[in-house]
Structure 1
Amino acid sequence: MTFGLFLITFTGAYLLGSIPTSVWYGIGYFGVDVRQHGSGNAGATNTFRILGKRAGTIVMLIDVLKGWTATCLALLLYYFNEIGEDQLLTYKIVFGLIAIVGHIFPVFVRFKGGKGVATLLGMVLAVHGELALVCITIFILTLLASQFVSLSSILATLAFPVFSLLGVFGQPDPLLVAFGFVMFILVVITHQKNIVRLLKGNENRVDLFGESKRQV
């Protein structure tokens, strides 16, 4: 594969991940910079909290889409015979990781982004759809039971390498297992403050069934 083509797709994955959906949407439609309210995080959860369910859902879906799209850039390389089928998973993981890095450190807003969970979900959907559905189910059930987005994200992320290792969907793939644990560690690192608040019992809850309000 030519270095130039790899550089273009590599950069494309980062720029897709860097799109600050919550910031641009919040400022463009509400005149509100979500980074100046709530947790100060430029992600879907804070958008839910500040701008309401509709805005939060739109931001989340776009963040999922950008993770999925960036990961699928590997299919372009495969389509143009730049990589073989045996390399496809590796490049999907590489481009997906780059998109997540872009979401956490976005070039468009001075490298201060979100925690990357929605973008990670988009990546996982592109890498292994069945496992992604399991993770989504665990996320939803945990969220319904606890109303903690942070706890739901951590447990859902942990489910990916665990179910991969158990071979629930076939023979365990060492690359998938390793990727899953790396993602779990990354999510734990980006949720350190949330974990501390969970342990202290003062983590923010999300009112899933209450009235949607702008809190600005």
Structure 2
Amino acid sequence: MAAGTLTWCRFKDEASQLLRHSDRIKDGWEWTEVEEDQAGGSFLVKKDVIRQVDERVDARDCVPLEEAEDEDNSDVLGVEYNMEEADTNTVPCELKETEYYRYQYHVLYSTSYSVPVLYFIASRPDGSLASLDEVWSSVPGSFQSRLQDDRWTFLTQQEHPVLGCPMFQLHPCHTATMMQPVMQETHDKDRGSCNYLVSWLSTVGPVVGLNLPLSYAQIGHVT
């Protein structure tokens, strides 16, 4: 295998390790088998990951705080207001009701690139699917600045290779190059080889809100 890639067998071995650890800490990962005997026909799934988005409303849409005092505002956060420091276009107001996206993540094996690939969908509170622009806007600013030039090639909408439904995808074309130095650094006789999937997910997952607990770093590769 080329540097920075992994075999289908290793993908399954490492997925099994990830699943065992997920079961121990109740992290919600599952294994889905659709085409059991075919390379890439089974994959990891994590459902119902909620990402909340708080947005400050425009002054024209604000509910004055004195009017809100008589209402049940248990789900609304009041905004501190200072007349001397306030901008002329702002008024004392509340924040919008907290909005959120519900994510579902699939980790598949790409037989073309011999690397894992992250697919996902994001839905709004009403169940409708979020657009590519909405998904991009939810990417943390630190990643947006680095990925700006490649935003529509790094994050794309593709057909799920097993299920056939449209999903968002983090394109795998640079995965092997990215993972090569990571694997070389961690592969030594004292520590053994790290779990490729965990290292990769820890690197690309946060771009789209998928964060692994630190305890996953304890997983080692099965040889």
Same fold, judged at TM 0.5 (above)? no
The structure carrying a bigger helix percent of its residues is: 1
**TM-score, length-scaled by structure 1:** 0.28
Larger radius of gyration: 2
